[in-house]
Amino acid sequence: MNLLYAEALALVDGVIDGFDESGTCEIILAPPSLYIHGILGRIQKCPQISLASQNCSEHAKGAFTGELSAAMLASVGAEYVLIGHSERRALYKETDSQIAGKISRAVENSLLPIFCCGETLEQRNAGLHKSTVESQLKNGLFHLNEKIIRDCIIAYEPVWAIGTGVNATSAQAQEMHAFIRQLIREKYSDQVAQEIPVLYGGSVNSNNATELFGCEDVDGGLVGGASLKAKEFNQIIASMNAFLKHNLVKN
């Protein structure tokens, strides 16, 4: 909840101005929901850029003043929706049950969920980081069948590294991403585990992006504060494009 409408449009224009048409990475912008329709017209010439809502209601419709349904968001051009972000869990006390409901409403309306999971500093220090993430996945996302979950994105965001300037080491990120992929493998299949993108979110910036994206099981980033500056965000995008190009040549 940062930019006014004109500022948000200027930011999008800045991202587009620095857009590398030869790049192959997918870019998803998640502005405040009331800006989605206005931004849609600006990105139509950039097929690699899509729009996401930052949240949706767990209810399909009804007397829920102030809420936005998945159907409403899809109707104004959103293709994705963030669900279970750590700020929603912490500040608004969203439960796994509510999050599971939001996931269901999203897929019912052809919105692709970006499911967020991650542990607090207290949980990590207590050695509960893996069990915490496992519980969040099993209770909030794993009710989906194999066909539907293939279209989802998972974002691992260690809460202690969000907006703090402290990011998990590449080894810590890789460990948790590999663990998440193993849980998917056990629930569904090896193929599904390999196909689902698992993003890292937690003070991603242009300085650490290359190292993070180089981890075997890190498929991209859920970028917070660094995405509010077009130049910084474009440098992160460039890091991902460079990584993808290197691996394409290598393979």
Tens digit of each residue's pLDDT (9 = 90 or more) over 62-76: 999 999 999 999 999
- Rounded Cα gap, residues 95 and 219, in angstroms: 27
Residue 223 has pLDDT above 70, yes or no: yes
| Over residues 89-116, mean pLDDT | 98
Confidence (pLDDT) at 162: 79
Q: Which domains does the chain have, with CATH numbers?
A: 52-250 (3.20.20.70)
Q: Which one-letter DSSP state was computed for residue 204? A: -
Please report, for residues 27, 43, 78, 112, 172, the alpha-carbon distance to residue 12 in angstroms, rounded to integers and kept in the order given: 12, 8, 15, 21, 32
Residue 9 has pLDDT above 60, yes or no: yes
Burial class (CB within 10 angstroms; exposed 0-12, middle 13-18, buried 19+) of 112:
middle
> How wide is the angle at C-alpha 80 spanned by C-alphas 199 and 123, nearest 5°?
40
Starting at the earlier edge strand, list the strands of the sheet with 198-200: 27-29, 49-53, 80-83, 112-117, 153-156, 198-200
Lowest mean pLDDT among 1-10, 221-230, 238-247: 238-247
What value does the mean pLDDT of the chain take? 95
Lowest mean pLDDT among 67-81, 97-111, 161-175, 209-223: 161-175
| Over residues 118-139, mean pLDDT | 96
What is the rounded (10 degree) CA torsion for 215, 216, 222, 226? 20
- Rounded Cα gap, residues 21 and 225, in angstroms: 24
Confidence (pLDDT) at 248: 58
Catalytic residue among 58, 94, 119, 157: 157
Please report, for residues 12, 170, 223, 240, the alpha-carbon distance to residue 7 in angstroms, rounded to integers and kept in the order given: 9, 33, 18, 25
Rg (CA), the chain: 17
- Rounded Cα gap, residues 132 and 143, in angstroms: 17
Tell me if 185 sits within 8 A of 198, measured CB to CB. no
Side chain identity, residue 4:
L
**Residue 143 known to be catalytic:** no
Reported as a single tens digit per residue, the pLDDT across 133-192 is 999 999 999 999 999 999 999 999 999 887 676 768 999 999 999 999 999 999 999 999
Structure tokens at 32: 């405040």
Catalytic residue among 85, 87, 119, 177: 85
User: Any residues with CB less than 8 A from the CB of 198 and at least 6 apart, and which?
Assistant: 153, 154, 155, 156, 177, 180, 181, 217, 218, 219
